[in-house]
């Protein structure tokens, strides 16, 4: 089955976070109708509010709510006829995607879901703690997506172009370069598969 989402409305969950803001910018740059789910302000998140305002100023439509509020998410997905959902939730909010997945299933408008992965392929890696807990949570999300037969794409970029393993230091001691990064190719590749033989 081929799913056409060339001009579909995109909802980005976690758009004010480290990875999410780049995903939202890319969606806006591509000219897509871009919606971003933002948490109701807690008063403690000046930097996230600033990112949300910048995205709104670029044309994103801000939707207030929480990803784990299934009823609200069903309403928002239907009301705005969202066709693509990209999750960039991280850390403690990974399991919030379970409610989001159920909402996607109930709404019936979403043609493609990209859950928050952005790391190693959790079904092919065998980590130890502290990473094991997050891998188990991401596996739970994957299994629900597959069980509910939601069209999905998993993006596994492994260690983000060798980060954080470039010098054998512990990952928590190394931050990726923030002043530049390199994108290989011209952006026309639909997908790559690398297998170790």
Q: What is the DSSP letter of 114?
A: E
Which one of the listed residues 111, 138, 147, 190 is annotated catalytic? 138
Pairing mode of beta strands 34-38, 112-114: unpaired
Q: Are 9 and 80 in contact (CB under 8 A)?
A: yes
138 has catalytic annotation: yes
The whole-angstrom separation of Cα 113 and Cα 12 is 10
Instruction: Please give the C-alpha separations between residue 84 and each of 6, 18, 51, 146, 151, in angstroms, as whole numbers.
Output: 10, 20, 21, 16, 10
The whole-angstrom separation of Cα 149 and Cα 146 is 5
In 74-193 the beta strands, taken as DSSP E runs, fall at 84-87, 112-114
Record the tokens describing residue 99, joined without a space: 């409610």
Record the tokens describing residue 19, joined without a space: 């990875």
Active-site residue numbers? 138
């Amino acid at each position: 089955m081929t799913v056409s989402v060339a001009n579909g409305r995109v909802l980005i969950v976690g758009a004010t976070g480290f990875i999410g803001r780049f995903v939202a910018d890319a969606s806006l740059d591509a000219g897509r109708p871009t919606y971003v789910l933002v948490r109701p302000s807690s008063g403690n998140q000046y930097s996230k509010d600033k990112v949300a305002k910048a995205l709104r100023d670029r044309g994103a439509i801000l939707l207030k709510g929480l990803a784990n509020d299934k009823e609200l998410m069903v309403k928002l997905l239907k009301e705005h006829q969202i066709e693509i959902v990209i999750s960039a939730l991280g850390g403690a909010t990974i399991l919030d995607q379970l409610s989001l997945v159920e909402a996607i299933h109930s709404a019936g408008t979403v043609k493609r879901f990209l859950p928050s992965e952005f790391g190693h392929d959790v079904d092919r890696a065998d980590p130890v703690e502290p990473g094991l807990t997050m891998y188990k949570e991401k596996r739970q999300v994957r299994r629900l997506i597959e069980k509910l037969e939601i069209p999905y794409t998993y993006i596994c970029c492994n260690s983000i172009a060798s980060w954080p393993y470039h010098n054998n230091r512990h990952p928590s001691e190394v931050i990726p370069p923030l002043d530049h990064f390199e994108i290989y190719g011209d952006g026309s590749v639909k997908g790559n598969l690398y297998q170790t033989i």
